[in-house]
Structure 1
Amino acid sequence: MAGDSLGTLFKISNWGESHGKGIGVVIEGCPAGMALTEEDIQPFLDKRRPGQSSITTRRDEADTVEIMSGTVDGITTGTPISLFIRNKDQKSKDYSEMAKLYRPSHADYTYQKKYGIRDVAGGGRSSARVTAGHVAAGAVARKVLTEALGVDIFAYVKSVQDLQLETAPDAINAELIETNLVRCPDQDLAERMVKKIEAARKAGDSLGGVVECQLRDVPVGLGEPVFDKLEADLAKAMLSINASKGFEIGSGFAGTLMQGSTHNDVFFDDEGSVRTKTNYSGGVQGGISNGMPIVFRVAFKPTPTIIREQETVNVDGKDVVFHGRGRHDPCVLPRAVPIVEAMAALVLCDHFLRFKAYKNLFDL
């Protein structure tokens, strides 16, 4: 299977299955000399792990990370860093029926046709469980960015179905994100979102929505102008997350309703730094960061596994009816927040190292 790696200089290779022995990731390109222990990574995995609240899957995994290589006495050596997260609460019998049919909106059919075989238990490699590796690697990337640049990365739930946060990005209070189950920085709206998700769970259904992410204090110059545009790489990373179905940056699709005279971000001098009066570009122009906050959104579909009767076909092509089983999130949004942050950190760290390599070449 190809397509398990991401990045150029800061490169990760993700491995593992939902019901295998564990999930892992190998990081290449992390600079030597940085302090790194499991305690730097674990808090981010705790935000992503299953079983953390009443509106997430009941699967009980501690998601405890182990650093297997790449450090000596808590310091990175510049060699590949291998991270391992053991699976401990697999219930593969929940999926025995799925081996004989194709679940609607799952990867069952496409995997079977492409590879001629599929891992039925938990969806195997197609499970969102593999994102534990993304989050672990993202924690390392975030530490590089924090120590080198002081970049601030935070995401939050902007909408759950028709309930939408109206607060402008520059007015978001990031300290409120972790004060409720749904990770929305508006407390009243968050309570309504939780009730809506709980109602969907009780009805055996699921909901989708949007996660918004901000990258603040990003320096000017990250990103390449043609195929490796910063927003293009962010889009690829975000659309690689399970259940993601849309990506937009800055004004996004809403910009199509504006005119150039109002959409253009006017430059001005801010005490010696060039800034823009508006940020419809979302912090990226010509594929390169312009020093303004990078703001983007990721749309997530309703969780495909629902505890309702559904029509589908079995492996013989015959019409069948089945009920979803297993432990699943009625809405992926709360747990998608740390995944979006991690993927953003991975892309940004890779482009930062590429920028440094380019600049240092001419600084010699």
Structure 2
Amino acid sequence: MIPFLDLRSINLRQRQEFHQALDRVLDSGWLILGQETQAFEAEFAAYCGAKHAVGVANGLEALHLVLRAWGIGPGDEVIVPSNTYIATWLAVSYTGATPVPVEPIEATCNIDPARVEAAITPRTRAIIAVHLYGQTADMAALMPIAERHGLKVLEDAAQAHGARQHGRRAGTLGHAAGFSFYPGKNLGALGDAGAITTDDAALADQLRVLRNYGSKVKYHNDVIGYNSRLDELQSAFLRAKLPLLDADNARRGEIAAIYDRELAGIPGLTLPTVATGCEPVWHLYVVRHARRDDLVQALAVAGVGTVIHYPVPPHEQSAYDGLGLVHGSLPIAERTHAEVLSLPIGPTMLDAQVAQVVAAVRRALA
């Protein structure tokens, strides 16, 4: 069986480094908001090219806390992609604001800047641009739109650790960015973890207060805050993994190139499109096919693990029935979610395994 993502092989490469990280934390006696988190924040900010990084509990909280720090709340609207993981929408809902879905450019599956501008109303306060599957959204088009309308732009970079657009890394393309270090991400912790990057010093200071019960000084609470802190142990693990990120991303790129070459020309199979100026990190390699579910079954029989990212768009989840977005209201997202399939891709995949995946897809669609 070829797993969709072999986290065991990925993490066992650094067994010794993880034990050393654990020993450092145990020896320090400091488990929350200590030297490991401070060091990781500095190292991750430098990696992204941002001035500040603020460690938080997870990727959803990274998005939520930025929106709260910007003062977004009830009565406000935040533009979100129609096709994304539901966490993007939940971050808006947590503030009491309303998520306003905008359809994607179908070729890249990322939010369409032209449709974004058409969706702006007097209540719009911000745009969340998701870098879906590891390819950056069209920030070069989105940022001027935001500037014209006085809006903030938040990158949802949960799938884009190290991705670039016109030479700049994700995390530096908007006013702030939220990252997830969920174990399956390109830079994955050994549990839940997240971070925010920004060049805005005042925002970074505000986020450090919000993540820690609204407190700058222990037992003195300036605002109503949250318990959303990146702990020392996960920080230490992430410090161990960060130096491997570029090499791991490069290996993902090699596998994507093989898929591009070997799966090209199969009738009915749509391969990923990379936009001009983008350097994706291939968090996911997502193909599309009208008979997606049949392809899933055929690959399972052949011993190839796949995952659907994502089977149900947010507006068709029961959680968002209140928005009144019936089936057919967002047809591009609905069609995308009905057709997409993620093939195995990961930094420890062997060429022989990649060849098996290719052969299985070709047989299934012959």
Query: Given the two structures, how large is their TM-score scaled by the length of structure 2?
Result: 0.28
Report the TM-score, using the length of structure 1 for normalisation: 0.28
Structure with a larger share of its residues in strand: 1
